[in-house]
Chain A
Amino acid sequence: GAVVSQHPSRVICKSGTSVKIECRSLDFQATTMFWYRQFPKQSLMLMATSNEGSKATYEQGVEKDKFLINHASLTLSTLTVTSAHPEDSSFYICSARQVTPGEQYFGPGTRLTVT
């Protein structure tokens, strides 16, 4: 089956720094990728939809200047958390939508801890 990877799997950073998370579709092309955030013991909340070659579409309440998304190729999307704060600590999960037949696959997630 199709595989989506995320890197890093875990990251610890200090307040005020930026951290980049990569999401890759390993064996298929993905015109659309999605970024979710999951707080402890809570559900996945969609943050933004990323389309290759165009600007991401952010969900209501998500700061686009804080969570920078770049989808530069059909197999890679990146999420950069800028000026991170402890409240940004969360589990970030990406998913990639296959061009054909349109299936969506999830990455293993990235645990971000901001100290």
Chain B
Amino acid sequence: AQSVTQLDSHVSVSEGTPVLLRCNYSSSYSPSLFWYVQHPNKGLQLLLKYTSAATLVKGINGFEAEFKKSETSFHLTKPSAHMSDAAEYFCAVNTGGFKTIFGAGTRLFVKA
């Protein structure tokens, strides 16, 4: 069975400081991992994905994530937060069975 755990329900940072959103996964097979962002009352936007190529994945808007198999982690980072980054972020896993399973989400707050 596959599952995703987002370790923080909410994260608060100051504008211009680094962002770290944590995600751990459980999967019996080699997973594909995703990070999505959702702004209020909007659909999902794909930030980045890992599909067994390079372990450091670069996405849109300056975000990146590193796949660490030994730690079963796929944490999302950004060097410098912007006010427009405030949103809900979802980590998701797919092990080729077509189903994508989502974590509970992390709300990112960015303070001026």
Contact = CB atoms under 8 A, between A and B. Distances in A.
Bin the interface of chain B by size.
Answer: 10 to 19
B100 A34 contact: yes
A69 to B, nearest CB: 15
B98 A109 contact: no
Given A43-B90, A109-B42, A109-B43, A97 B105 contact: no
Interface string B74-112: 000000000000000010001000111111110000000
Nearest to B107: A41
A32 interface: yes
A3 to B, nearest CB: 11
Nearest to B4: A43
A43 B99 contact: no
A9 to B, nearest CB: 9
A106 B44 contact: yes
Interface string A79-98: 00000000000010101010
Interface of A: 6, 32, 34, 42-46, 49, 91, 93, 95, 97, 104, 106-109, 111
Given A43-B103, A44-B102, A45-B102, 9 more contacts: A34-B99, A42-B105, A43-B104, A44-B90, A46-B99, A46-B100, A104-B94, A108-B43, A109-B42
Contacts of B98: 32, 34, 49, 97
A108 B105 contact: no
A97 B101 CA distance: 14
B70 interface: no
Contact of A111 (B36, B41, B90, B104): B41
B41 A43 contact: no
Contact of A104 (B41, B42, B100, B104): B100
Contacts of A32: 98
A42 B102 CA distance: 10
A93 B38 CA distance: 12
Contact of B101 (A46, A49, A104, A107): A46
Contacts of A95: 100
B30 to A, nearest CB: 14
